[in-house]
Structure 1
Amino acid sequence: MTQRQGPADPAAPMVAVEEVRRSFGSGPRAVHALRGVSLEIPRGELTALKGRSGSGKTTLLNLVGGLDRPSGGRIVLDGTDLGDLDEDGRLALRRDRIGFVFQSFGLIPILTAAENVGVPLRMRRAPVAEREERVRTLLALVGLAGHADQRPGELSGGQQQRVAVARALANEPSLIIADEPTGQLDSETGRSVMELLRAVVRSEGVTVLVATHDQNLMEVADRVVELADGRIVGERRPAAAAR
């Protein structure tokens, strides 16, 4: 396993995607999900990916998050070339340096909100006092300090996704990857979750890469990158990003 390549240059992008391709299958029936995508994701920014189903958004998220390997090209995350990592190295990368937020929340039903947030810290074997303090801090950050002892079934969809965001932040990741995090929420609740992610970028200094279909939610992003048929076809900075 290749070790982390020292402290990354703070002026360098958090993620550099270079001519990345990803195909599934072979021959005439092969599906080309990504066709030579190049993209830089700056540190401390919220980048939104837009595009219809099948455009390559989720494939790109999976590759950046080390959940899959490209068919060609190169991805560098915070100074580490993902192509140099074996499976154990990729596991460590996901555990220590990336937080994930999913459309389906992904909370453990039998655990309380606080226990769900603490799962990554338990996996890291953080001391109990440190773990409890971090959990309290994160639940307060996402506005759920008074819901620590409630289980997912006792929380609204928006509250569950806020717990998921807190859990993604538990190990102080460099990057948060969110795949349609508001897909199961109404528009108002969804916007509040996106605004929470925007606030997290400011308060925690974390970089966020999010895929979303909702045009309204893109307006809180620093940059919107559009994909179609596995290629980047457009990029813009919403007016609200001129902060």
Structure 2
Amino acid sequence: MSEPTAEPMVEVRDLVRTYRTGRVEVPALRGASLTVAPAEFVAITGRSGAGKTTLLNLIGGLDAPDGGTVRVGGRDVGALPEDYLLALRRDVIGFVFQSHGLLPVLSAAENVEVPLRLTRTPPAERDERVRVLLGLVGLADHAAQRPHELSGGQRQRVAVARALANRPRLLLADEPTGQLDSETAAALMPLLRAIVASEGVTVVVATHDRTLLGEADRVLHLEDGAITEVPAAAGDAPPVS
């Protein structure tokens, strides 16, 4: 007898999202579908304006679709009341954006600590979690530094640590290397791969950077509002810009 298949961490079916500006309708997603398994690392590529950010926002419950369904951890995101949706974003999903969004008056450790304070994590447990996460992203020696004292790559690593603070099951990263130089960017994706291994987190990342796609278990291409899987051979990858 075969073992039962684990429930998908993310399941998107026939997703439709259209933006309206005055009388003009701009379709972002036209029946997009995808499934992501627990602890899988999936990269989504596609030209600018293809709808990658829209897709991540819908998966993360930051936006609502015009049609189709999004399920995260078996829960229909679109059917959740607002308080449950807030809990989903706080406890189940971590977000990393192109701009790190750190609080400038707080140190690296204090920025990572913010989500733990919001959940009233006991101080000793909070301090230990911050210590572990800064170590994970290679910034144990920079805990007391404020964002302006860190490089762009270091700030983005702090943002990754902060996103992991409450032990999310799903990490959504939207162009996390978009503002980094190529060398710094190349170091971030192996970090995300290490996080999948050490924390068991499912990662869905939108990226333009071809050099980073090799870290993913699968690469999906978003074009004309629909998603296709990219063949494993790098030479078969469609253009991303």
Q: Could you state the TM-score of these two structures normalised by the residue count of structure 1?
A: 0.91
Which of 187, 191, 208 is residue 192 of structure 1 equivalent to?
187
Partner of 2:239: none
Partner of 1:203: 198
User: Which stretches in structure 1 are left out of the alignment for 5+ residues?
Assistant: 1-8
CA shift digits 1:127-181 (9 cap, x unpaired): 1111001000100111111110000000011111110110010000010000000
Overall identity of the aligned pairs, in %: 63
Distance 1:99 1:147 in 2: 22
Question: Does structure 1 retain, via aligned residues, the 8 Å contact 2:218–2:229?
Answer: no
Aligned residue identity for 1:142: V
Query: Where in structure 2 are the equivalents of 1:150-165 lying within 5 Å?
Result: 150-165=145-160
Which of 29, 32, 35 is residue 24 of structure 2 equivalent to?
29
User: Which stretches in structure 2 are left out of the alignment for 5+ residues?
Assistant: 235-241
Partner of 2:109: 114
Aligned to 2:215, the other structure's residue is in SS state coil
Question: Does structure 2 retain, via aligned residues, the 8 Å contact 1:222–1:237?
Answer: no
Distance 2:62 2:23 in 1: 26
How many residues are paired up?
231
Partner of 2:162: 167
Which of 204, 211, 229 is residue 224 of structure 2 equivalent to?
229
- The structure-2 alpha-carbon separation of the partners of 1:39 and 1:113, relative to structure 1 and needing over 3 Å to count, comes to same
Aligned residue identity for 1:21: V
Question: Does structure 1 retain, via aligned residues, the 8 Å contact 2:51–2:225?
Answer: yes
After superposing the two structures, state which structure 1 stretch, 181-190 or 80-89, moved more: 80-89
Q: CA deviation at 1:89?
A: 1.7
Partner of 1:4: none
Question: Does structure 1 retain, via aligned residues, the 8 Å contact 2:61–2:78?
Answer: no
Distance 2:212 2:47 in 1: 15
Aligned residue identity for 2:95: F
Superposed CA RMSD: 1.5
Distance 1:142 1:33 in 2: 34
Q: CA deviation at 1:92?
A: 1.1
CA shift digits 1:76-131 (9 cap, x unpaired): 10011112212222111101111111111110000000000000000101111110
